[in-house]
Amino acid sequence: MIVTDPVNHVLAFYERGDLVKLLPTASGGRVSPATRRASFIRRWTSRSTKRNIYVADYGNDRVQILDKEGKYKALLDPEFHFVGPHAVAMPTGDCA
């Protein structure tokens, strides 16, 4: 399970109820928001497929695509100017 935390600017990855990873890596609490890759400002939601994690990065006006390990791959439609995206949804048939 992936939980978005818009206050601390992280994604929290859980397996069987245990926290296994924070992204970006946080040491000692809050993570400063940033505009670099795989960093977030007020993320609202994420959606995982078999190959990718899609993150609605509200504060940076973009949707980031990460691999299953949480490493940056690309932006979704980098030519389109998203304004405060706050949700990511996929059809039931896992399209990506």
Q: What is the pLDDT of residues 4-25, one digit of tens each?
A: 777 777 788 888 888 888 887 5
How confident is residue 27, by pLDDT bands cut at 50, 70 and 90? very low
Count of domains in the chain?
Answer: 1
Would you say residue 80 lies in a domain? no
| Cα gap 75→37, rounded to integer Å | 9
Q: What is the pLDDT of residues 36-69, one digit of tens each?
A: 555 665 555 666 777 888 888 888 888 888 888 8
Would you say residue 37 lies in a domain? yes
Q: Is 72 left (phi over 0), alpha (psi -120 to 50) or beta?
A: beta
Would you say residue 85 lies in a domain? no
pLDDT at 44: 56
Would you say residue 46 lies in a domain? yes
pLDDT at 34: 44
- Domain interval for residue 53: 2-75
Would you say residue 40 lies in a domain? yes
Query: Is the peptide bond preceding residue 24 cis, with omega within 30 degrees of 0?
Result: yes
